[in-house]
């Protein structure tokens, strides 16, 4: 039924499953619970009631089990002890190819002994074992359960609910949908509703963290950002930031939660709350990179992205339509495509491995005089007619037709003088010789990977090992999670702790139609395939906008417009996620 040679049986017994005491065999292995023949409740209804009268053997995967609970004493059979085992396996959605998790409860009745105490002790042993296996602790022997490595020291989590996040239903959602899963998974919690912007950050700065084994954020990315920056502002930030963070989608974008669901293989569809609650119930904290972002106003700690250009504009300018949920992004996209803006700027970065410029033809042919030294302005480089439109301008609004290369008929020669500049120490134009090993650990003698390391000041030149591009851009987006929101997946290959930023650069030579295609690729989680767009894996970057006005965001929050630079802090934080490879 359950056991095979590699999945040894840890405990087994027979149990009565009806008042006439028909016996059925139940076995527990590291990976599953195998039951000979027993009624199972699905969504609160018994399988008998559901019409499955000829009951078949049931196998519940430990991956789907969230917990067990000893039930109240039976009023009739007073010496028996009953144990509910709760799982959330996937079920097919009617008339669809999709599956959805649904609750199933298996009740085992322990009545071999004459006293309730002895029966309940047995039930508790089973409960402890199953509970530990459900959390992914791979015990080979039942007696190991007393030493459950990884069991948190505190028994409760702190839940922060932003009552105004997203469409303002976070509290109701938590009470109605999340609390039942937490109850099934024996999760104790303390809940606090945030009272104002900044409240969560203040709390994190003074909280006694040992009182909790994790912090659950029921809101959007804004509250996660506050929690992370609050933890990083503490004197004990090195340990504080290791507090596992869980997220329930109560905002409008929910990028982190979408990334967590995606990486766990749990589709973030019409019902994202149950999978998110399930993932938290499984409690498998994974390391997560943070990114230190230096701005003119100081340092921030970021977990999602740094964004400049069309996507930042869409995100921030559609804030006023927050009550529409995800629809606000669609509305914003249409508006920004109609009034397409290009931004002049300089992007410098430390690539991982060899950097091969995507839009190379122009750069390759460029004369030495057009190649700016790192950190030096190249504004006086001669520009083509079309790109002169945006040179030295404020933010440009293009109200003409398709604006890009296609329409104005720029050829390579024109591009050659267009002000696209790629610089790099050594053989700049032919691409860097830098290898992953060379690139990752040192920038001007600083270990970029080290949590204490610093990049040069924002006004100092970038290190000579960096690549610099000066051009007109439609988008510069540094991603370190797969998702931008629940519908856009610009960096599908990102993992929580890959120690990288995926720098997406879209030049202003792109047309509206092609931008739409890029956005479609983001929506479908596909690789972007456009001559004007490139994705570079970097350890650090500096972005210097050369327009006076524009929107720059970190994790969806607007920051002061001006130069920013960022570097990765690999795996410093922890997030409650599921490693699909282990599921």
Q: Which residues bind ligand ATP (CB under 6 A)?
A: 162-166, 194-197, 199, 219-223, 226, 251-254, 556
Sort 298 into a burial class: Cβ within 10 Å, 0-12 / 13-18 / 19+. exposed
Distance in Å, CB of 439 to ligand ATP, minimum: 32
Nearer to ligand ATP, 194 or 305 (CB): 194
| E strands present in 460-554 | 467-479, 501-507, 533-545, 552-554
Task: List own/partner pairs for 108-112 with CB under 8 A and 24 or more apart.
Answer: 108/15, 108/26, 108/38, 108/82, 108/83, 109/15, 109/16, 109/17, 109/77, 109/80, 109/81, 109/82, 110/15, 110/80, 110/81, 110/82, 110/83, 111/16, 111/77, 111/79, 111/80, 111/81, 112/13
CB distance 257 to 275 below 8 Å: no
CA distance 16 to 25: 9
Distance in Å, CB of 254 to ligand ATP, minimum: 5
Distance in Å, CB of 399 to ligand ATP, minimum: 29
CB distance 134 to 282 below 8 Å: yes
CA distance 541 to 565: 5
Question: Cα–Cα distances in Å, from 373 out to 20, 268, 343, 348?
Answer: 87, 46, 21, 11
* 291, HSE (Cβ side, Cα atoms, 13 Å): 30
Distance in Å, CB of 376 to ligand ATP, minimum: 37
Distance in Å, CB of 160 to ligand ATP, minimum: 9
CA distance 432 to 94: 54
Nearer to ligand ATP, 268 or 473 (CB): 268
Query: And the tokens for 463?
Result: 């290190």
Give 469's strand partners: 347, 422
Nearer to ligand ATP, 308 or 355 (CB): 308
Q: List Cβ neighbours of 553 (8 Å cut-off, separation of 6 or more).
A: 305, 306, 307, 308, 312, 315, 316, 559
Distance in Å, CB of 256 to ligand ATP, minimum: 8
Within 10 A of 403 (CB to CB), how many other CB atoms are there? 24
Helix (H, G, I), strand (E, B) or coil at 458: coil
Nearer to ligand ATP, 252 or 263 (CB): 252
CA distance 197 to 376: 39
Catalytic member of 64, 184, 221, 315: 221
Nearer to ligand ATP, 164 or 473 (CB): 164
Chain centroid offset of residue 479 CA = 11
Nearer to ligand ATP, 123 or 161 (CB): 161
Distance in Å, CB of 153 to ligand ATP, minimum: 28
Nearer to ligand ATP, 357 or 556 (CB): 556
Distance in Å, CB of 276 to ligand ATP, minimum: 13
Q: What angle do CA 367, 371, 375 make, to 5 degrees?
A: 175
Nearer to ligand ATP, 53 or 196 (CB): 196
Question: Cα–Cα distances in Å, from 233 out to 203, 226, 229, 455?
Answer: 11, 10, 6, 19
CB distance 74 to 82 below 8 Å: yes
Nearer to ligand ATP, 219 or 432 (CB): 219
Distance in Å, CB of 251 to ligand ATP, minimum: 2
Nearer to ligand ATP, 35 or 223 (CB): 223
- Annotated catalytic residue 221: yes
Q: List Cβ neighbours of 372 (8 Å cut-off, separation of 6 or more).
A: 378, 381, 421, 423, 468, 470
Burial 20-36 (b: 16+ CB within 10 A, else e): eeeebbbbbbbbbbbbb
Distance in Å, CB of 573 to ligand ATP, minimum: 17
Give 423's strand partners: 468
Distance in Å, CB of 493 to ligand ATP, minimum: 22
Q: Which run of H or E residues covers position 159? A: strand 156-161
Nearer to ligand ATP, 150 or 168 (CB): 168
Q: Which residue is nearest to ligand ATP (CB)?
A: 220
Q: Which run of H or E residues covers position 442? A: strand 442-443
Nearest partner of 471 among 408, 558, 543, judged by Cα: 543
Known catalytic residues are 221
């Amino acid at each position: 039924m359950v056991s095979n040679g590699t999945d040894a049986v840890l405990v087994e017994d027979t149990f009565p499953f009806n008042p006439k005491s028909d016996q059925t065999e139940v076995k527990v292995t590291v990976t599953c619970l195998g039951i000979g023949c027993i009624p199972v409740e699905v969504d609160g209804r018994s399988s008998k009631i559901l019409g499955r009268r000829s009951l078949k053997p049931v196998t519940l995967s430990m991956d789907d089990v969230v917990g067990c609970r000893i039930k109240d004493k039976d009023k009739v059979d007073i010496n028996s002890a009953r144990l509910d085992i709760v799982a959330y396996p996937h079920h097919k959605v009617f008339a669809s190819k999709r599956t959805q998790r649904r609750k199933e409860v298996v009740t085992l009745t322990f009545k071999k002994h004459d006293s309730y105490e002895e029966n309940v002790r047995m039930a508790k042993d089973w409960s402890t074992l199953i509970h530990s296996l459900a959390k992914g602790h791979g015990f080979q022997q039942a007696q190991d359960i007393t030493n459950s490595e990884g069991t948190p020291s505190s028994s409760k989590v702190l839940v922060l609910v932003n009552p105004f996040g997203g469409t303002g239903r976070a509290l109701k959602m938590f009470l109605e949908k999340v609390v039942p899963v937490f109850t099934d998974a024996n999760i104790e919690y303390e809940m606090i509703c945030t009272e104002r912007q900044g409240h969560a950050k203040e709390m994190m700065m003074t909280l006694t963290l040992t009182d909790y084994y994790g912090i659950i954020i029921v809101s959007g990315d804004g509250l996660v950002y506050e929690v992370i920056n609050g933890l990083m502002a503490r004197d004990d930030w090195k340990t504080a930031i290791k507090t596992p963070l869980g997220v329930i989608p109560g905002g409008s974008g929910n990028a982190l939660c979408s990334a967590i669901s995606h990486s766990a293989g749990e589709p973030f569809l019409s019902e994202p709350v149950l999978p998110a609650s399930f993932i938290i119930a499984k409690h498998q904290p994974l390391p997560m990179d943070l990114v230190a972002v230096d701005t003119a106003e100081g340092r921030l700690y970021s977990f999602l992205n740094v964004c400049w250009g069309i996507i930042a504009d869409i995100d921030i300018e559609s804030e006023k339509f927050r009550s529409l949920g995800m629809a606000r992004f669609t509305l914003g996209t249409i508006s920004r495509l109609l009034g397409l803006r290009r931004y002049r700027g300089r992007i410098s970065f430390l690539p991982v491995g060899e950097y091969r410029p995507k839009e190379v033809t122009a750069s390759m042919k460029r004369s030495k005089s057009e190649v700016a030294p790192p950190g030096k302005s190249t504004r006086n480089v001669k520009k083509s007619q079309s790109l002169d439109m945006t040179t030295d301008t404020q933010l440009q609004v293009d109200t003409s037709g398709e604006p890009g290369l296609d329409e104005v008929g720029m050829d390579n020669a024109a591009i050659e003088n267009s002000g696209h500049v790629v610089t790099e120490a050594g053989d700049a134009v032919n691409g860097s010789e830098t290898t992953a090993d060379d690139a990752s650990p040192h920038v001007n003698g600083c270990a970029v990977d080290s949590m204490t390391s610093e990049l040069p000041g924002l006004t100092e030149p970038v290190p000579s090992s960096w690549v610099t591009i000066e051009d007109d851009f439609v988008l510069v987006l540094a991603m370190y999670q797969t998702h931008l929101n629940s519908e856009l997946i610009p960096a599908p290959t990102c993992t929580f702790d890959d120690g990288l930023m995926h720098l997406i650069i879209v030049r202003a030579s792109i047309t509206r139609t092609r931008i739409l295609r890029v956005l479609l690729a983001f929506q479908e989680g596909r690789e972007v395939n456009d001559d004007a767009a490139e994705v570079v894996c970097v350890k650090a970057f500096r972005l210097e906008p050369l327009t006076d006005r524009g929107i720059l965001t970190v994790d969806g929050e607007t920051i002061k417009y001006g130069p920013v630079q960022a570097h990765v802090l690999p795996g410093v934080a922890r997030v409650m996620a599921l490693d699909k490879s282990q599921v």
